[in-house]
Each structure stands twice: as C-alpha cells, then as structure tokens.
Amino acid sequence: MVIFMEIKLKTADTFFSRFRGLMLSKRLPAGHGLLIAPCNSIHMCFMRFAIDAIFIDKDYQVIKVARNVKPWIGLAWCWKAWGVVEVSAGEAKDIRTGDLLHYAFT
C-alpha cells in the first residue's frame, strides 16, 4: 500500500547532521519530520520527547516502525534499513511494514 504523508521533511545526510539528529530539540511540530540517511539505528540520548521511527529502504518501503521511542532511554535499529524518518510519537500510527512511503515535500 502506498502511504502519503504530508510532512515538512528535513534531511540529515552529513556526519554531523546525522549524529545530532533531533538531539536537544525542544519538540518536533506536528507535520514535521527528519529523514536521516544513511542510517540503520537511532538513540534517544539528549532527547526531550518521544518519537516514532520509520525505517525505510532506498525505495522508501517501510521495513520497520518503532513506535513511541522514549527520550533518554530509547534505542531502535533495523540492520537492513537505508534510512529512518523520525516523526513525533503517534504520527506514524497508520504506517505498517511493507508500506511504500510517498512524501509531499512542502
């Protein structure tokens, strides 16, 4: 199934931007997300809010969804993933493994 997400997606594709991710951010507004690529694991150190992590392959097919990953103590990984889309907890509620994501960049 193709899932359309209307989201303002920021890309983290350098070493520093991938390392920093959303660390120290106060929040992630609804309708916003961060694509970290290449990336197959995330940590929640220095995070202030929970997220949903959508692990994808290079074709944007969902391999795994880690829901409600908690700040400070959360970890998530998917060894076969090419990248991960981080959104606020609950925003990936309709996303399932096998879905093909299509983003409307706004």
pLDDT, tens digit (0-9, with 9 covering 90-100), for 11-60: 899 998 888 888 888 889 888 999 999 999 999 999 999 999 999 999 99
pLDDT tops 90 at residue 3: no
Q: What is the pLDDT of residue 51?
A: 96
Domain locations along the chain: 2-105
Q: Which residues contact 105 (CB under 8 A, 6 or more apart)?
A: 8, 9
Domain 2-105 fold is Jelly Rolls (2.60.120)
The separation between CA 86 and the C-alpha centre of its own chain, rounded to angstroms, equals 2
Tell me if the pTM is above 0.85: yes
